[in-house]
């Protein structure tokens, strides 16, 4: 089970990298969009995050449920913002930077909490 957990953690990190990288590459551009990297990175984060929580609950059940809840809420907000704006030709700057900021917040919660 440890191998499966480690693979899921790796995929979870790849999802974060896709989300952040997809947004970071557009910082200086005149037009910002929700590119496939952001969309698929967000979906990867949701699926692998749920799988990781499920595996940890089934095996040891020793989780910080408040942390998982906060991270889940932040990720759901990111997912909703990404899905709402994915077909727009130009995402407003505030919305785009909100998605980028929430992505960094979610990573900070994971690492610092």
Instruction: Locate 18 and state its tokens.
Output: 């896709």
**Res 42 pLDDT > 90:** yes
pTM strictly above 0.85 = yes
Residue 107, pLDDT > 90, answer yes
Average pLDDT, integer, range 78-102: 96
Question: What are the structural domain ranges in the chain?
Answer: 2-112
Confidence of residue 3 (pLDDT cuts 50, 70, 90): very high
**Range 21-47 average pLDDT:** 95
Q: What pLDDT score does 68 carry?
A: 96
Average model confidence (pLDDT) across the chain:
95
């Amino acid at each position: 089970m440890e191998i499966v957990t480690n693979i899921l953690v790796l995929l979870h990190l790849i999802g974060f990298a896709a989300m952040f990288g997809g947004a970071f590459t557009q910082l200086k551009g005149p037009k910002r969009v929700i590119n496939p990297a952001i969309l698929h990175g967000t979906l990867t984060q949701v699926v692998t995050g749920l799988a990781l929580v499920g595996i940890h609950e089934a095996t040891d059940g020793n989780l910080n449920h408040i942390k998982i809840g906060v991270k889940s809420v932040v990720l759901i907000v990111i997912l909703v913002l990404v899905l709402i704006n994915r077909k727009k030709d130009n995402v407003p700057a505030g919305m785009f930077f909100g998605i980028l900021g929430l992505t960094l917040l979610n990573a900070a919660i994971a690492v610092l909490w």
